[in-house]
Structure 1
Amino acid sequence: MKTTNNVQKAITKSLAVIISLVLISITVNAQDFWRTVMENNSFSQIAMAMTDNSEASSASADATTDMNTYANYEAVEAEAELEVENWMTNDNNFFSTVNVATEAENTLDVENWMTDENFFNGMASYFKVETEESLEVENWMQDTNYFGVLSVEVEEEADAAIEVEGWMTETAIWNM
């Protein structure tokens, strides 16, 4: 009983921690959401346009200034043509002249101790060879009544003879 109470308390505490983490993450995301909504809404611009024409004309002047500024960014820039310099074509500046030699290993020799069984049978005394008794077939194993085996007749199926049809040998079909 005491264990179930402790488990219930632990589950309750862990759920409280998880829920609080979820709520904190939602509030952090909500702050950014409302900030972007307030920055990107057009209500303030509509209100300014409807209140006074003088303000609207100054706003349109600001808009044309903004358009001119934006047009400056649209200008196509051309980069200077690249030139090939001497050091770029010189092989000594790069690692293309490094010679890589293949390494040959010495042949392995079989030494006397490698074929001596005394070196490798140290653990052999701890192993026991298990032998199983040979299996014997008893009468009940061959009794068909015991297993309820029914006699099954196997019927062989014969395929029809293959016939060559006219389209199979027609050259117009196969030589397109």
Structure 2
Amino acid sequence: MNHLAAIAIFAIIIFTGNVNAHENKAKASGHEALTETSLQIENWMTDEHVWNVQAAPGTAREAEAELKVESWMTDQKAWELAYLAATETEGELALEDWMMNNTYWKI
């Protein structure tokens, strides 16, 4: 079975090595040959009735909340990198008993 698999892999290598490529032009895709039509402004694009929200009868606009500057937005301490990402201190590396115990490391 292994012999048959090795022959199959060798045959694939032989066949892929015999590729006969002639052109070396790079083409992104077939859409490069298409030409785009020019863009035209249509009447509905500039019509006030289409874009004026209050023009539609029976519709009410939602009142948006007023934007306010809050204290945290202007607090200099809130934007300091040292404050945002507090550095953690790690203890010293030390050898522990289980690391040197031979019973844990016997195979």
TM-score by length of 1: 0.18
Give the helix-richer structure, 1 or 2. 1
Query: Higher relative contact order at CA 8 Å, sep ≥6: structure 1 or structure 2?
Result: 2
Instruction: Determine which structure has more spread, i.e. the larger CA radius of gyration.
Output: 1
